[in-house]
Chain A
Amino acid sequence: MAAHYVMSVDQGTTSTRCILFDQAGRLVSVTQREHRQRYPRPGWVEHDAMEIWRNLEHIAPEALARAGVEPRQVAALGIASQRETTILWDRATGVPIGRAVVWQDTRTDSLVEQFAARDDAGIVPERSGLPLATYFSAPRLRWLLDRTPGLYERAERGEVLFGTMECWLIWNLTGGPDGGVHVTDVTNAGRTLLMNISTLKWDPELLEFFGIPAAMLPEIRSNAELYGTAARAVPGVRITAALGDQQAALFGQTCFGRGEAKCTYGTGSFLLLNTGGVPVRSSHGLLTTVGYRIGDEPAVYALEGPIAVTGSLVQWFRDSLGLISTAPEIETLARTVEDNGGCYIVPAFSGLFAPHWRSDARGVIVGLTSYITKGHLARAVLEATGWQTREVVDAMNADSGLQLSTLKVDGGMTSDNLLMQFIADVLPAPVVRPMVAETVSLGAAYAAGLAVGYWPDLEGLRRNWHRAAEWLPTMPAERREGEYENWRRAVERTFGWQRPAAHPS
């Protein structure tokens, strides 16, 4: 019998990757293709959904060819995707209506303010578990419907479909205009502001609040079940999993138990804590979100703390200040000094995300003296990621009543030993890196494989997880508390810098 594999598609913000995994969770082949980032106006970020679908059509067969694998040897396909990105398309032709509006896009800021000013705005956090913010899909969807005359009516008639990225790809894989399946999953649907976090269904009152016709919405399914069989790209392959990328990473890190947490360190960073079978309401600025749901089993919930600027601060240090020539050199430069020299950088480039949610904040560098060198600045850059992690962990502990015992980490910044040690020092808790760095792809593969019995159960997946590195806290408590105090004072100085712009009424 020929060997079988699981195919994983990671549709991310900058590129689409396709990876084949074997039964031990090892990577067999990888293909990748970037897509264009479009910035038509300040604050606007768009993708061409058709370009992304064509990329997948290209790289999925290529991943098979590179490993010499036939489509019939693929046991299942799972998709992890960028979340909250909003796509509309014509059901009959499969052609997207305008560009996909990306999660980073802030064009809906005044629309969100209008929604927030309404008396009944309280139902949004109450039902969806999320604050009313430009980050999520519903305001974007409404913005798109408002912009084109007649679109709303077409959506009501079911001629125009809405979806996030996984939904768009599943619809296309399963045939597009010829019988494409219009489904989404609980983790992606849960980021629209339209899904009820307790019932895991579209909430009629939320649809009413945002003015969204139900006919255009996909059916909400679990993260691991048969959605359909591919008719295109990899014909005959069963599509059995979809998760938002951060939930996929939680799954790939095998954080299956209540109290287990992971943080993915990339451009921004996302810390998710498994809170078990009930949604925990945050009173400390975190998002209540679905972690995952396997078939008919009860959903597992998570608290999420998104941090907007971490790796992108290093990129800024490299590209805008030119103090280093590659991102990893930040560690070399930081090691030229013993400490931050009293300097702190709070990268509130476009406000602060969790746990502050201050859109009026802007970045600051404080504690500058003639003593400060570029080495101190490099330290402050790395420490900003450490302290932002600490703030989110504090909020998680307070909300969940759990005490984080270990933080599992992944993402590009985990190759920075100084940063990983600093995170362990400031939490203080052991920081552990797993052997497979591709946790997002692995998570989608795991969910897809579980659905078809390729992997028997969660325990089996846990056995595939191995520790590649571990950093233990060594910083004296007194120093840690003093530094944290300084960081908090620095954060306070970012608040209120941006004055509200006069919005056209």
Chain B
Amino acid sequence: MPGSVQSIERAAAILRLLARGSGRLGVGEISTSLGLAKGTTHGILRTLQDVGFVEQDKASGKYQLGATLLHLGTSYLDVNELRSRAINWADALAARSGEAVRIATPLDGKALVVHHVFRPDDSLQTLDVGTLLPLHATALGKVLLAYDTGLAADTMKSPMEACTRRTLTTAAALRSALAKVREQGWAAEAEEHATGQSAIAAPIRGYGGYVVGAISIAGAADRLCPSVAKADQTQVAYVLNAARAISRDLGAGRW
């Protein structure tokens, strides 16, 4: 078994220290309390600040627990913030791919559409921000399920409704589809939600690679993705590039 990671132990100690007492401490006080070099302490504090676990008071320069810690498990990233950060990349993806773009995050066992860019052909289209899509039947949903085992288990426990003839309705079929998503890094949906319509989606990652949402292009099945094995690879590359660009903006280093 590998040994424990020292910097994580130290980070945990800093958080405990900040959670105790008055809450606001300077870098000197923290390093003295924990017997750490000031440089080391500062480095850990900066990382904790980047992920939102601690905040620095502008006036005094002292550190305290960050608001993100209080909401751990409820909202990782504000959906309106996500849209604002992604909007330019989503526009560029729509312009390149010629297809409609959507961004979704999980909500109450569904995929909530938080951003929608029209297909750039100036045809009549309706904004569907706020729509809830079934997780098991959409490319967006499959991405969200693939990187959230708890959500995937819950989805498979309840009956999975058939939206079309090709919807995956068994736990086994979905499980193997999700494994494929993790293996290739993107998801395809071939007429599984609506007949004649297909989609390609990829994960949007935040700090440390944590998946915060999914971005997709959707369009006519015959040109985009006639079957899950035959997704247009140029389009897949466009989606992956957009997803990586947004992830980089959100602070996901190596993606």
Contacts and interface: CB of A to CB of B under 8 A. Distances in A.
Contact of B79 (A27, A332, A412): A332
B31 to A, nearest CB: 27
Interface stretch (A158-166, A242-250, A365-373, A461-469): A461-469
Nearest to B68: A325
Given A415-B87, A470-B118, A328 B80 contact: yes
B253 interface: no
Contacts of A331: 80
Interface string A283-298: 0000000000000000
A437 interface: yes
Contacts of A436: 91, 95
A471 B117 CA distance: 12
Contacts of A26: 92, 95-96
Interface string B198-237: 0000000000000000000000000000000000000000
A327 B122 contact: no
Interface in B71-94: 78-81, 83-84, 87-88, 91-92, 94
Contacts of A412: 84
B162 interface: no
Contacts of A414: 87
B129 interface: yes
A474 to B, nearest CB: 12
B75 to A, nearest CB: 9
A498 interface: no
Nearest to B101: A468
A329 B117 contact: no
A278 to B, nearest CB: 30
Contacts of B126: 470
Interface string B47-83: 0000000000000000000010000000000111101
Interface in B82-134: 83-84, 87-88, 91-92, 94-96, 116-118, 120-122, 125-127, 129
Interface size on A, as a range, is 20 to 34
A329 B94 contact: no
Contacts of A466: 95, 118, 120-122
Contact of B127 (A24, A327, A469): A469
Given A469-B116, A470-B118, A471-B127, A437 B80 contact: no
Given A415-B84, A470-B127, A435 B120 contact: yes
Interface size on B, as a range, is 20 to 34
A326 interface: yes
B104 to A, nearest CB: 14
Main secondary structure of the interface of B (DSSP, over half): helix
B96 to A, nearest CB: 8
Nearest to B83: A415
B57 to A, nearest CB: 12
A435 B91 contact: yes
Contacts of A417: 80, 83, 127, 129
A414 B87 CA distance: 10
A330 B80 CA distance: 8
Nearest to B75: A332
A54 to B, nearest CB: 27
Contacts of B121: 466
A469 B118 contact: yes
Nearest to B116: A469
A24, A329, A415 — most chain B CB neighbours (10 Å): A415
A74 B78 CA distance: 41
Nearest to A327: B84
Given A27-B92, A328-B81, A467 B127 contact: no
Nearest to B66: A325
A203 interface: no
A416 interface: yes
Contacts of B120: 435, 466-468
Contact of A435 (B67, B95, B125): B95
Nearest to A420: B127
B118 A437 contact: no
B91 to A, nearest CB: 5
B117 A435 contact: yes
A466 B101 CA distance: 14
B81 to A, nearest CB: 4
Contacts of B79: 332
Contacts of B88: 437
Interface in B109-164: 116-118, 120-122, 125-127, 129
19 contacts: A27-B92, A326-B81, A326-B84, A328-B83, A330-B80, A331-B80, A415-B84, A435-B120, A436-B95, A466-B95, A466-B118, A466-B120, A466-B121, A467-B125, A468-B120, A469-B116, A469-B127, A470-B118, A470-B125
For the complex of A and B, 9 pairs with smallest distance between CB atoms: A466-B120, A328-B80, A328-B84, A331-B80, A415-B84, A328-B81, A415-B87, A468-B117, A435-B91
Given A325-B67, A466-B122, 18 more contacts: A27-B92, A327-B84, A328-B83, A328-B84, A329-B78, A330-B80, A412-B84, A415-B80, A415-B83, A435-B94, A435-B120, A436-B95, A466-B121, A468-B91, A469-B118, A470-B118, A470-B126, A471-B127
